[in-house]
Amino acid sequence: MVLTLRTLAPLLALLLLLTSSCDKEKEDVSPLPAPAVYNKEVTFRIFTETDYSEARWEGSKMNLTLKLRRISTVLPKEMIVLDTTFGWMPFHELPLRGAPLQLEEQLQEVHKEQDQFVLDVTKVVSINGYETVFRYDQRLSHDKPQETVDVKL
């Protein structure tokens, strides 16, 4: 029995090494989680899809206000990060889709789980002396570090 055990011992040791060896190819490496805080770059493309070069639009104009709000689940609950007004623009000078007016905004320390951004758009349109106000809001994506937002006039 001693001779058999001495003969089997190296074979058993080799078998144990082969079955317990570390195989790095089979290890699953999980991707790093996305950071909870990041900086966001937003480009606003402002344009109209209508050509207002006809004479009937002469004297018509528009006033545009963009307000970007940061809404958070922690204090402060709401903060205005962009508030800009484009003064009265004649209709024939409104930028077309092919050559939009662009505005860039850098947002620092955006908390992925806590922050949302809402763009409030207010257009005051004056046609033949009659003014009409149009308002709408648009939510930005909360998980994109770069985003382009179209503002259609």
CATH of the domain at 116: 2.60.40
Look at residue 19 in the predicted model and tell me its pLDDT.
62
Mean pLDDT of the residues in the chain: 85
Query: Do the bridges between strand 78-90 and strand 101-111 make them parallel or antiparallel, or are there none, so unpaired?
Result: unpaired
Q: How far is CA 114 from CA 28, 64, 79, 122, 147, in A?
A: 31, 29, 13, 26, 18
Domain assignment of residue 90, given as a range: 37-152
Q: How confident is the model at residue 6 (pLDDT cuts 50, 70, 90)?
A: low
What pLDDT score does 132 carry? 96
- Is residue 24 one of the residues assigned to a domain? no
Q: What is the number of structural domains in the chain?
A: 1
CA distances from 151 to 7, 45, 100, 138 (A): 82, 6, 10, 9
Is residue 145 reached through a cis peptide bond, with omega within 30 degrees of 0 on the bond before it?
no
Report the C-alpha gap between 140 and 143 in whole angstroms: 9
Task: Tell me what the mean pLDDT of segment 80-88 comes to.
Answer: 95
**pLDDT of amino acid 8:** 59
User: Does residue 4 have a pLDDT over 70?
Assistant: no
Please give the Cα distance from 72 to 78 (Å, whole number): 6
Is 34 or 31 the better-scoring residue by pLDDT? 31
pLDDT band of residue 37 (cuts 50, 70, 90) is confident
pLDDT confidence bin for 28, thresholds 50/70/90: low
Asked if residue 28 is part of any domain, the answer here is no
Terminal-residue alpha carbon distance, the chain: 94
Residue 20 lies in a domain: no
* Helix, strand, coil percent content, the chain, rounded in steps of 5: 20, 50, 30
| pLDDT at residue 133 is higher than 70 | yes
pLDDT of 86-111, one tens digit each?
999 999 999 999 999 999 999 999 98
Rounded CA-CA distance 30/146 in Å is: 25
- How many residues are recorded in the chain? 153
